[in-house]
Structures are given as structure tokens and as C-alpha cells.
Structure 1
């Protein structure tokens, strides 16, 4: 199995391994959040569908991220492909407000550039 960050163990940014820091460490890995986000937005997807949806992801990175996300309990392998688990869906729902704020931030930066 892939080695994933775990609460209670040292992770990036936290010697104590607080649960939020372990989750952010996992989601901060290249393409991890993108894969979870894509599965939540598109629904169950085969490996090839995910690879196409994520555009620039390599098969090796996708395979590694899927293994990590499965081990973490955020993604499951089903007959119709990979899908977010209920916990993966809950985390996606928690990220939606952050996504809205990121879009607002982008608009503010663009506006500031246009006025300067």
C-alpha cells in the first residue's frame, strides 16, 4: 500500500500530526485534490476517464494518488470505476466554500491589475 499521512504521526507542517494537518498533507500532494475533486464533480470514473479529465496527470501519478486516496478512505474502487466515498464527498463539500473564496480572490487580483 501507498504510505499516506496519518493523524497522530508527524506530517508536513505538524510534528504532532494533527488530523487537519495530516489531511492537508495528503490533499497537498501533486494531483491528490484534483483527483478527489474530479471524482466528486464527474461521479464514478474509470482510470482512463480520470486520466483524460485530469489532462496533464501521468498514469504513474494517477495510480499512486488513487492508491493513497483509497487507503485514506476517500476513494473506493467500484464496478463502474473509482468514486468518492461518503467521507470523500464530505471533504469536497467542505472545500466548496474555499473554492468560492479562491475565485473571489482571483477576481480581486485581476481587478487590481487592471486598475494599476
Structure 2
């Protein structure tokens, strides 16, 4: 029995994914965290050009989306680290494939 395809459902899912992943910096943050957990300052250094306010906003959004987890280690000094959740880790190979596709198929400006 063949499965039916509901284009509206697919479009909604893709649209939802890009509403999170398509925001400036989110892909870079996820890519950097794919290599392992980092502190806020470590992330700021790894994602060149991002401001503290934008990084904070993006981390909150990615956390709300279930892709990034924030861990606070009591001090002194208090240490805060960020890491990918299980869902975020499952996204890493997709981001890698997307990057490979872009390298082979999109013209750079």
C-alpha cells in the first residue's frame, strides 16, 4: 500500500524548521556546539561577529526549540555551559549534508 503525501503538512514542517534554522547565527551556533559543549564566552569566540545580546537571544530560542541545553554549575565561580540536546545532535549530520550540498550547488557571491 503506497503512502500518501500531504504537501501542506510537509510544507508546514519545512517552514517550521527554517523558522528556527534560518535565523542568522543559529546554524553556526549549532555547528559549533556539534563539536562539544562550550561556555558563553567560548561560543562568542567561536561564532565571530555575533554580539553578546544576539548570542543570548539565539541560545534562548534554540533552547526553547529543544536543540540546545543550558547547564549551570554552582561555583564559585558559577559556570554556565551550552550543549546540543539529543535532537540537536541528530541535526548535525543534516547540517553537514546541507553544507556539502551548498558547496557543490550554490554560487558564492
* Same fold per superposition (TM over 0.5): yes
TM-score (norm 1): 0.71
Question: What runs of 5+ residues in structure 1 fail to find an aligned partner?
Answer: 1-13, 111-116
Higher normalized contact order (CA 8 Å, seq sep 6+, divided by chain length):
2
TM-score (norm 2): 0.75
Q: How many residues align?
A: 93
Question: What runs of 5+ residues in structure 2 fail to find an aligned partner?
Answer: 1-7, 74-79
- Match for 1:69 among 37, 52, 62? 62
Inter-partner Cα distance in structure 2 for 1:65 and 1:19:
20
Per the alignment, residue 83 of structure 2 pairs with 83
| Cα offsets for 1:33-83 (capped at 9, x unmatched) | 111111003x10000000000010000000000000000100001246100
Q: CA RMSD in A?
A: 2.2
Per the alignment, residue 100 of structure 2 pairs with 100
Per the alignment, residue 32 of structure 1 pairs with 26
**Which structure has the highest strand share of the two?**
2
